[in-house]
Amino acid sequence: EYDSDDRPVQETVKPMVDGGTEGFKGHARVIIPGMTPCFECNIWLFPPQVKFPLCTLAETPRTAAHCIEYAHLIKWDEVHSGKPFDADDTEHMQWIYSEALKRAELFGISGVTYSLTQGVVKNIIPAIASTNAIISAACALEALKLVSGCSKSVSNYLTYNGLVGTHIKVTEFVRDTDCLVCGPGTLIELDTSSTLSEFIKMLEEHPKLLMSKASVTHGGNNLYMQSPEVLEQMTRPNLSIPMFELLKGTPFATVHVSGMAESNGKKVSSLRKLRVAFKGVEEASKMDTTESS
């Protein structure tokens, strides 16, 4: 949570330690919400998932993985007519392996094994025990620092590479202040009587937003959607309902809005995080708590 000056409220900060390995490589990182970057801030760090063109799988397979993906993505649906594939079902996995083996033999491709089939279908990356031990030790050390305060935490991303010798490096990544996950978002103060329609109109006039044709979501629920037409019709009745009621009567709430916003004199698609606060509600709740106690 953030205060009115966009500073994190210390008692709400929950530090997190993350670690991961891939073969001889690994990382350990410390995430302190509101102070260090979160996963979303550095989403570009994650490598893109490998995908094979369906035309290659269907017409010109060249590797064992192509044969396995053909059995998984194409052959399964052809034979089982929409029956969902369960990667944890040994019979399903055995069927994929058998079909992949047949296709590999047809095209003269070697290397299809049951373990490789599991790896391709489940996207499993082989683990190396020594790498796991080093990274788990690094994570445990950072957790000890956070709990005991015995030393400063790593700032904020440690990488390990044991492929050629041993290489350890610490990189300090920068937090995205406009992050939709860990960023404070723009503070919007409303009266408890302000309707959703008035809230959307306010977004058009807010100097930091200037957002038109806004769609509004909260906690994964659509409060109002500009499109498609079927969702617009379904959520249209909410426009006349006070935001305080739509947000379940909470003093503070986080909502996300998407629409067209001004950027360098042009209208561009934008997604923003907002902190909605209702005037007078927090003070009233504090008074009720004091009186009851």
How far apart CA 17 and CA 19 sit, in angstroms, is: 7
Q: List the chain domain ranges.
A: 1-177, 186-278
Catalytic residues: 55
Please report, in tens digits, the pLDDT of each residue of the chain (293 residues total). Answer: 777 777 888 888 899 999 999 889 999 999 998 889 998 888 887 777 667 777 888 888 999 999 999 999 999 999 988 789 999 999 999 999 999 999 999 999 999 999 999 999 988 777 889 999 999 999 999 999 999 999 999 999 999 999 888 899 999 998 887 788 888 888 899 999 999 999 999 999 888 888 998 999 998 899 999 988 889 999 999 999 999 999 988 888 889 999 988 777 778 888 888 989 898 876 544 444 444 44
pLDDT score at 282: 65
Q: What is the pLDDT of residues 220-259, one digit of tens each?
A: 899 999 988 889 999 999 999 999 999 988 888 889 999 9
Q: What is the CATH number of domain 1-177?
A: 1.10.10.520
Look at domain 186-278 and name its CATH class. alpha beta
Encode 137-170: b = buried (16+ Cβ within 10 Å), e = exposed.
ebbebbeebbeeeeeebbebbbebbbeeeeeeee
CB neighbour list of residue 285: distance below 8 Å, 6 or more residues apart = 251
Strand order in the sheet with 25-31: 16-22, 25-31, 157-161, 167-171
User: Which amino acid belongs to residue 278?
Assistant: F
